């Protein structure tokens, strides 16, 4: 298994001076099979959006691993 560092940016909303963003970062350890699954889904659906990949329904164990401890990897 390999460890992957993933960074993301999340919009917290709009204030009187414009959009407010925060950065998130997390590390996840994935098997070669899990990586292959993610690559296949990303290529098939042409998105990296977890909600659009439908991981929660199609691959709940992988979703749970990415969402472990309220990890910022799931938005």
How many Cα atoms are found within 13 Å in the side-chain-facing hemisphere of 45?
15
Domain count, the chain: 1
Residue 48: both structure tokens together: 């990296």
Decide if 62 is inside a domain. yes
Q: What is the spatial distance between Cα 62 and Cα 1, in angstroms, rounded to a whole number?
A: 14
pLDDT(73) > 70: no
- Domain containing residue 18: 2-70
> Stretch 14-38: mean pLDDT, rounded?
91
pLDDT tens, residue by residue, 27-64: 889 999 999 999 999 999 999 887 889 998 999 999 88
Decide if 75 is inside a domain. no
**Contact partners, residue 61, CB within 8 Å, separation at least 6:** none
């Amino acid at each position: 298994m390999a460890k992957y560092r993933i960074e993301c940016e999340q919009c917290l909303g709009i204030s009187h001076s414009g959009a407010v963003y925060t950065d998130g970062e997390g590390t996840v350890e994935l098997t070669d099979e899990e990586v292959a699954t993610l690559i296949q889904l990303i290529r098939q659906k042409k998105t990296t959006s977890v909600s659009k990949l439908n991981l929660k329904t199609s691959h709940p164990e992988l979703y749970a691993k990415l969402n472990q401890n309220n990890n910022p990897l799931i938005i």
